[in-house]
Structure 1
């Protein structure tokens, strides 16, 4: 399925494809993107509580300018928190890619690297997978449909996950509690729930997920608030419903994560495209808003 997800003067169009069914690898979601132009300074990358994998193919090449002033090109992996402060930009023309969002509980197994090494950084897929990254790119280019590309990527991810050890069940449980609470669970309560000391939870969680528990919770809370702003909710209501002390607290958090105000964030195409690329998120959000 293809549809135009977003259009404006400096982003000509996003053409988005979605898989028809859930893949074999749990904790994984994907979408296909064709972007004709990301002109000017590029698209601001907004921090997200998932590890992002973008496998490009075709004639165009995406470029990512990171917070340290480095430029990355080709297929990329972005760790939790990438885009913090609004300093990471994505550019390119005629870009085609399969973008994958990995739950941090499966990212280590699939990527083959400790998530803590990816904290708030961008690396090339070749740095992690070597020649396999080039082979996958060629296979994606040879595929004649988005369905075939999704099947290909799903098989690769499922195989890699099955061949590696999962995170500790206590760590997986702690991440699940943070996610379902939208970042509002108390970290000391998490430690008590899994029977660990706070120090042990912090150490294991950080090494296996990629962020300390408290920072992970703040990222999840921000992400929930950001998508409510994009859905058209007022900042005051979003702040009250998302666990912020007041609207000023929300304003400061959004500025810290993105470098822009809540009103500007609400129009960011990086978030607006979620409505088409990741419809389950927005469907859940709409159901929630309809009952409040």
Structure 2
């Protein structure tokens, strides 16, 4: 078997069909099929189950896919490290995160990093969930992932950077806007704007509220915190969100972010495959972001 065989097999598992994998790889479906058949022939096992709507890996296929994803990710990462050694400080740092993260946590760090490493390039890849960030890390597609920290995993290392207290975002005209702080009981049967149910922050919020005996109704779903806060500012609902500094101050006279001190703070930070395997540039960028987040937290 060859590395190409393994890469194509991984692409098929990811895409869910031979034809979709062929499109992703810019080759023919026949070529994709030949790679998979060569693996099956050498291993003496069926790796894919063919269905009318595509393919799914067999038990053997799932075992191979897990190993291939981790192994190829390590190889790709090592090749990038070698390339960066050859290019000295002219390498790249690839980061995956949510759509609004750069604005809230990285803007000053990006400017600082660019000043210190003018020959380096930064590449940002947007994902909609921590799970998507983990998949990008496992596949070797990125160096760093900025996530809402969740349960520890065997293959991904997480490092906390900043704690974000929760607040209730409401319009200045809302009756709750005059409160100095909000108790969880104030949210009983509230109709809230929330992130998707599978997001880490939404899961953690739901768990913490349930522990307080609170079960609010999330009747509006949005993709990111900024959209939730904007809708609340416009008077279209309430949103339990992290108290992001960019939304505080005179720039948003129609918005109130009321603290909810009873809820444990949300923790955001870095996720990587292995900290000791990060390139010097990637480590420098991660440390630069952490440094500026520390300053931001003090100022906030």
Q: TM-score range by the shorter chain?
A: under 0.3
Larger radius of gyration: 2
Q: TM-score, normalised by structure 1?
A: 0.27
